[in-house]
Amino acid sequence: MIGLFVSIIKGQIISTLDTINVLPYSSEIKLQHNLIIDTTFSILKQDTDSIEYSLDPINGLFFIDNQKKRIQSIIVKYDYYSIPLPTKIGPKWIDLPLVDSLIINHDLSNNIELTSYPIAKEKESIYSSGTVFRNLNISPRGGSEFSGGFQMQIQGSLGNDIVVGGVLSDQNFPIQPDGNTSNLDEIDKIFFQINHNNFEVTAGDVDINIESGKYLNVKRKTVGINNQFKYEGVAGTGAVAGSKGIMHQIEFKGVDGKQGPYSLTAKNGNKDIIIIAGSERIWLNGVRLYRGEDNDYTIDYSLGEIFFMPRNIIFFDSDLYIEYQYADEQYNRNLLTSSINKELNNKGNLQLSWIREYDQTLNTNNEMNSEAISLFKDLGDKEIFVSGAQEDSIGIYVFIDSIYSFDSTNTIIGQHYQVSFTYDSKNGEYVRKLSNSGVLYYQWVDRQNIELSNKSIDYYSPVRQLVAPESHQLIQALSNYRVNNWLDLSLELALSEYDKNSLSKIDDNNNQGIGHQIKISGDQISLNNNIIIGYEILQWGRNKRFHSLQRDRSINFNQDWNITPIYGENELMQNINSKVFIDSLLLINTNLSSYKIGSNRKDRAQLDFKGSTRFFNNISGNINQVRSNNEYYQT
């Protein structure tokens, strides 16, 4: 046991001499020190002949029979440990209170009378716990790597019904977690929350989720502060945050039998992007899919690639819709939101909301030079491209016959350049290559000939695109009022402003747009004891300059209307819908609608029914007809 103890507290051994005065008839003598190493204990001087003794080294006790020899003094020598022996064995965190509990522990011994007090009367208490770790990796081929991190949790009460909680995690692991599980490991996370009966404040890594009416539906991964409050029928929210990336959505058809990879792209089609972990939402044929090898798909966030699990076989007519955020290397993107909601006598509500998402022009990581700012101010919303080549005697490209040729060994005679290439699906004439030495370079190709054999190649041009900072904001007024079970009224008005270049006043005459939605509905209209009907009359529209911050229609909207996505046109939708419930055995849903976009108009009739009979437990059907001036579509 002593040997084990030495291995734990080594380096704390001290030698000493004790002079012991022995009282008559005493048999137990307390030495000056505890934790004695018994093998080092010896008697140096004594008044009489040798004596018999025993030793308790842990407690520092010396036992002799002094009734016979009448010993008066003894000098002993021994080594001892200078640190105290722990009175408890086990990890110290066991004594800490639970992080997820605000209950204050008391001594519940039987001889203490307990008095009950409300939790709010307890004294203020904040509990915290956490871990710190360090890793040292040594390679047998030489070199080493030192890494580490920490995680801390805090939770407690500040009194007056205010509860606080938070998590701080910092671990230098890869930038993105693996996307093959339903739950992601939070690598670096800061989260702090203050709760009260009337308000809630959250700071750190905050998910902004706004679902309000038709035109204001926003989901963002951000870092900032989010506040919610409610007091005497008035509720509101507000947020000041930095968005972790640019929101984008793509819609495409699957490839027959191909489960992956399907690449996610930036707005300009570039595949060299990093997806923000956990920001993606995927639908297949209108059905929401969920991440994980045991679920529907996996995703590589660093490469922006999605693989679908065998439970969902992809066909040529599979409709895929994906929303996601990707990291922006140009600007930091900020997000400001504010909303206030007033209840109307428990009959409805009146809400006013505002949101703005914009690029921060003063980016300390990549500040724009005066030449770029001048171009942005003078050219308005136009795309700006500048040459990506700079003369450099040790550059790896040489310019010959209007083509940049790769020359890593600097053996080709001519002016050498360092060249930056930009993804250019329309006019690009260079493709990526990898040299034998592992250097990534770009090589000119005859695009017309290569497209005949492979249409999936990515093309690049020797230019740099100067991306202007954007600004997008939206104001929404929304009101809902329930007159009775037969009549519900809803009115929504939205104003948007989308500026492709916030540094320029040129081309700003088309930034503002307007959208509206009017809905009249009723449910639980009983004709008799067996038949209940409901109805909805709806109209929504938006002009061609209106821009939503995110999807503002159903996932299957384009499939239901048999159209391809069209942007920059006026839209108007009119719809009448009715539902009939017959004795809880049959549901009939009838929908007549008209949709106009630009100069095109389509009319649609849809009938759904579900029911059960004595012979069949489930009967269902669907009829969908879409008509236009020059085509007819039915399913």
pLDDT in tens, 491-516: 999 999 999 999 989 988 989 999 99
**Per-residue pLDDT band at 36 (split at 50, 70, 90):** confident
Q: Quote the pLDDT of residue 153.
A: 79
Residues 247, 325 contacting (CB under 8 angstroms): yes
Distance from the first to the final alpha carbon of the chain: 82
What's the rounded mean pLDDT across residues 150-177?
72
Predicted confidence (pLDDT) at residue 51 exceeds the cutoff of 80: no
Residues 293, 180 contacting (CB under 8 angstroms): yes
Q: What is the pLDDT of residues 237-293, one digit of tens each?
A: 999 999 989 999 999 999 998 998 999 999 888 888 999 999 999 999 999 999 999
Predicted confidence (pLDDT) at residue 143 exceeds the cutoff of 60: no
Strand positions, DSSP E, 448-585: 460-461, 463-466, 471-484, 487-499, 512-526, 531-542, 571-582
| Same domain (yes/no): 623, 478 | yes
3-state secondary structure of 500: coil
Residues 542, 595 contacting (CB under 8 angstroms): no
Token output for 396: 């790896």
Classify residue 39: in a domain, yes or no: yes
Q: Where is pLDDT greater, at 90 or 228?
A: 228
* Distance between CA atoms of residues 114 and 103, nearest Å: 15
How many Cβ atoms from other residues are within 10 Å of residue 326's Cβ?
23
Query: pLDDT averaged over the chain?
Result: 81
What dihedral do alpha carbons 278, 336, 550, 566 form, nearest 10°? -140
Out of 466, 485, 515, a domain closes at 466
Predicted confidence (pLDDT) at residue 394 exceeds the cutoff of 80: yes
| Same domain (yes/no): 497, 565 | yes
Whose tokens are 């008559």? That residue is 24
* Distance between CA atoms of residues 302 and 489, nearest Å: 47
The C-alpha angle with vertex 569 and arms to 595 and 593, in degrees rounded to 5, equals 5
How many Cβ atoms from other residues are within 10 Å of residue 167's Cβ?
19
Question: Cis peptide leading into 310, omega within 30 of 0?
Answer: no
Classify residue 216: in a domain, yes or no: no
Residues 218, 283 contacting (CB under 8 angstroms): no
Neighbouring residues of 339: CB distance < 8 A, sequence distance ≥ 6: 210, 212, 236, 237, 238, 351, 352, 353, 354
Classify residue 133: in a domain, yes or no: no
* Distance between CA atoms of residues 562 and 399, nearest Å: 50
Predicted confidence (pLDDT) at residue 373 exceeds the cutoff of 90: no
Predicted confidence (pLDDT) at residue 529 exceeds the cutoff of 60: yes
Out of 81, 112, 139, a domain closes at 81
| Same domain (yes/no): 453, 508 | no
* Distance between CA atoms of residues 494 and 542, nearest Å: 9
Q: Quote the pLDDT of residue 250.
A: 93
What's the rounded mean pLDDT across residues 515-532?
87
3-state secondary structure of 372: helix
| Same domain (yes/no): 397, 508 | no
Q: Quote the pLDDT of residue 500.
A: 92
What's the rounded mean pLDDT across residues 473-478?
97
| Same domain (yes/no): 543, 411 | no
Q: Nearest-CA neighbor of 497 among 474, 531, 481, 524?
A: 474
Q: Quote the pLDDT of residue 134.
A: 66
Q: With pLDDT > 70 as the criterion, what percentage of the chain qualifies?
A: 79
The C-alpha angle with vertex 268 and arms to 266 and 269, in degrees rounded to 5, equals 65
Classify residue 558: in a domain, yes or no: yes
Predicted confidence (pLDDT) at residue 300 exceeds the cutoff of 90: yes
What's the rounded mean pLDDT across residues 24-53?
74
| Same domain (yes/no): 504, 580 | yes
Classify residue 560: in a domain, yes or no: yes
| Same domain (yes/no): 439, 507 | no
* Distance between CA atoms of residues 36 and 52, nearest Å: 18
CA distances from 357 to 354, 360, 548 (A): 10, 10, 12
The C-alpha angle with vertex 267 and arms to 271 and 517, in degrees rounded to 5, equals 145
What's the rounded mean pLDDT across residues 197-220?
91
Residue 341, CB-side half-sphere exposure with 13 Å CA sphere = 17
Q: Nearest-CA neighbor of 24 among 64, 60, 67?
A: 67
Q: Quote the pLDDT of residue 362.
A: 65
Residue-level length of the chain: 635
Q: Where is pLDDT greater, at 108 or 526?
A: 526
The C-alpha angle with vertex 623 and arms to 622 and 627, in degrees rounded to 5, equals 150
* Distance between CA atoms of residues 326 and 188, nearest Å: 17
Query: Which residues in 183-210 are b (16+ Cβ under 10 Å) and which e?
Result: eeebbeeebbbbeeeeebbbbbbbebeb
Predicted confidence (pLDDT) at residue 108 exceeds the cutoff of 50: no
Classify residue 231: in a domain, yes or no: no
Q: Nearest-CA neighbor of 131 among 148, 152, 147?
A: 152
Q: Where is pLDDT greater, at 612 or 200?
A: 200
Token output for 437: 């030495």
Q: Where is pLDDT greater, at 595 or 141?
A: 595
For residue 461, list its beta bridge partners. Answer: 422
**Per-residue pLDDT band at 179 (split at 50, 70, 90):** low
**Per-residue pLDDT band at 10 (split at 50, 70, 90):** very low
Which H or E run includes 600?
strand 600-611
Q: Quote the pLDDT of residue 102.
A: 44
What's the rounded mean pLDDT across residues 376-381?
88
Residues 419, 430 contacting (CB under 8 angstroms): no
Q: Quote the pLDDT of residue 563.
A: 84
What dihedral do alpha carbons 263, 267, 272, 276 form, nearest 10°? -80
For residue 425, list its beta bridge partners. Answer: none
Q: Nearest-CA neighbor of 153 among 133, 171, 172, 168?
A: 168
Q: Quote the pLDDT of residue 68.
A: 55
| Same domain (yes/no): 462, 497 | no
Classify residue 203: in a domain, yes or no: no
Q: Quote the pLDDT of residue 188.
A: 60
| Same domain (yes/no): 454, 311 | no
Predicted confidence (pLDDT) at residue 561 exceeds the cutoff of 90: no
Whose tokens are 């800061």? That residue is 190
Residues 433, 459 contacting (CB under 8 angstroms): no
Predicted confidence (pLDDT) at residue 148 exceeds the cutoff of 90: no
Q: Quote the pLDDT of residue 90.
A: 54
What's the rounded mean pLDDT across residues 183-191?
63
Classify residue 113: in a domain, yes or no: no
* Distance between CA atoms of residues 576 and 77, nearest Å: 102
What's the rounded mean pLDDT across residues 383-410?
90
| Same domain (yes/no): 524, 572 | yes
Predicted confidence (pLDDT) at residue 450 exceeds the cutoff of 80: no
Q: Where is average pLDDT lowest: 127-136, 535-544, 571-580?
A: 127-136
CA distances from 547 to 98, 107, 215 (A): 48, 63, 9
| Same domain (yes/no): 588, 513 | yes
Q: With pLDDT > 90 as the criterion, what percentage of the chain qualifies?
A: 38
Q: Nearest-CA neighbor of 519 among 572, 477, 575, 476?
A: 575
* Distance between CA atoms of residues 422 and 64, nearest Å: 92
What's the rounded mean pLDDT across residues 558-581?
88
Q: Quote the pLDDT of residue 111.
A: 44
The total number of structural domains that make up the chain: 4
* Distance between CA atoms of residues 54 and 65, nearest Å: 10
Residues 36, 6 contacting (CB under 8 angstroms): no
| Same domain (yes/no): 538, 574 | yes
Q: Quote the pLDDT of residue 181.
A: 62
Structural domain that includes position 506: 471-634
Q: Where is average pLDDT lowest: 150-164, 174-188, 260-274, 383-397?
A: 174-188
Q: What does residue 232 show for φ and ψ, rounded to 5 degrees?
A: 50, 55
**Per-residue pLDDT band at 58 (split at 50, 70, 90):** confident
How many Cβ atoms from other residues are within 10 Å of residue 612's Cβ?
13
Q: What is the DSSP string of 141-152?
A: TS-EEEEEEEEE
Out of 408, 434, 466, a domain closes at 466
What's the rounded mean pLDDT across residues 285-308?
93
Q: Quote the pLDDT of residue 421.
A: 93
What's the rounded mean pLDDT across residues 60-67?
74
Q: Nearest-CA neighbor of 498 among 516, 475, 473?
A: 473
Side-by-side strand order, sheet with 281-284: 246-253, 319-326, 281-284, 287-289
Q: What does residue 403 show for φ and ψ, rounded to 5 degrees?
A: -130, 135
